[in-house]
Amino acid sequence: KPRLVASNDRFCRFLEEYCPVVTETYYPTIWCWEGRVQTLLRPFITSRPQVQYRNELIKTADGGQISLDWFDNNDSSYYPDASTRPTVLLLPGLTGTSKESYILHMIHQSETLGYRCVVFNNRGIAGEELLTPRTYCAANTEDLEAVIHHVHSLHPSAPFMAAGVSMGGMLLLNYLGKAGRDTPLMAAAIFSAGWNVFESVESLEKPLNWLLFNYYLTTCLQSSISRHRQMLEKLFDMDLVMKARTVREFDKQFTSVMFGYRSIDDYYEDASPCRKLKSVGIPVLCLNSVDDVFSPAHAIPVETAKQNANVALVLTSCGGHIGFLEGIWPRKCTYMDRVFKQFVQAVFEHGNKIFSM
């Protein structure tokens, strides 16, 4: 049974009534119960629902551009009026885009409820060109702020919330910690966020985890910028960046330098959402598994969460990183998908019961 951590009794009762999945026993797929196995197998096992996107490129203040993929759900029978159709902003993980299976499943769940979705693709990784020598990081929220303002300005009368996965969840938490109550978002859902970057990279540098995850993630990061090498060579020694063999080395040579940090430690401190959780000003539900090597159990800020009435943590004993597979053959819906669907529906249809907290 998941552990529900929330100091606000009203928020707890709200979740128990309208998002009961967070109190139900989670039965992981018995033949892949270990966290690393769940993490590795989910992308290959889960189905990929068909989603037809409408792409939009928006300009940023520094001359760059951001690629947004819209699922308008114009056939929604529940919300035929597009101006008031609830909107969910989705933030993928570190090198993820709108094509990730977990994003496609979130859109599929939203479609059945009649909602509209828009996926925020980080700069340079969704096929669009880099117009400036700048990509993205977990600490800098400028692009996310621009996207939230843009989406809200297009549909100012539509209920609006966001969901972030892995690094997308970290970025969303860092934005919420900075914005407090000054955001058009009603609420947010966070899945498999790395709460303390120092602890995350240390866990990922253990020999088996490096072999299974760290090296692959590093090559994905390098691949995501190699297409833009001509633009990025203006500021970086790309040969040195391409020699990185860990995420930490990549961040030291590239990410922390790009965003002007004096050291990688300064960047990792700023990127860690655990430091900003106390300032979150809207209802946030965060799902983590305690066997997630990307976000070690001892780094989950349980005590800090108890000090903020807007925050609820749901902690499962199994599930890995963006895994949460369940059932004998977990092709379709995961536990994470069910948490997403119930919480989003609870916020859009019964949110007034927690917004007076």
CA 33 – CA 267 distance, rounded (Å): 34
pLDDT at 186: 96
pLDDT at 219: 97
The residues assigned a catalytic role are: 166, 292, 321
pLDDT at 34: 87
Residue 14 has pLDDT above 90, yes or no: yes
Contact call for residues 133 and 232 (beta carbons, < 8 A): yes
Helix or strand (DSSP H, E) at 59: strand 54-59
Contact call for residues 173 and 162 (beta carbons, < 8 A): no
Task: Give me the DSSP letters along 85-123.
Answer: S-EEEEE--TT--TTSHHHHHHHHHHHHHT-EEEEEEPT
Domain ranges of the chain: 3-196+275-355, 197-271
pLDDT at 347: 97
The mean pLDDT value of the chain amounts to 95
Task: Give me the DSSP letters along 283-324.
Answer: -EEEEEETT-TTS-GGGS-HHHHTT-TTEEEEEESS-TTTT-
Res. 356 pLDDT band, cuts 50 70 90 = low
pLDDT in tens, 115-143: 999 999 999 999 999 999 999 999 999 99
Task: Give me the DSSP letters along 121-144.
Answer: EPTTSSSPPPSSS----SS--HHH
3-state secondary structure of 64: coil
pLDDT in tens, 41-99: 888 889 899 999 999 999 999 999 999 999 999 999 999 999 999 999 999 999 999 99
Show the 3-state SS of 177-190.
HHHCCCCCCCCEEE
Q: Which of 272, 336, 265 is nearest to 300 (CA)?
A: 272
Mean pLDDT to the nearest integer, 223-238: 93
pLDDT at 310: 96
Alpha-carbon distances of 320 from 107, 183, 188, rounded to whole Å: 22, 31, 21
pLDDT in tens, 275-315: 999 999 999 999 999 999 999 999 999 999 999 999 999 99
* Cα first-last separation, the chain: 26
Length of the chain (residues): 357
- Number of alpha carbons in the 13 Å side-chain half-sphere of residue 345: 20
Mean pLDDT to the nearest integer, 246-272: 97
CB atoms within 10 A of CB 154: 14
pLDDT at 112: 96
CATH tag, 3-196+275-355: 3.40.50.1820
pLDDT at 355: 65
CA 272 – CA 267 distance, rounded (Å): 9
pLDDT in tens, 162-184: 999 999 999 999 999 999 999 99
pLDDT in tens, 198-226: 999 999 999 999 999 999 999 999 999 99
pLDDT at 33: 75
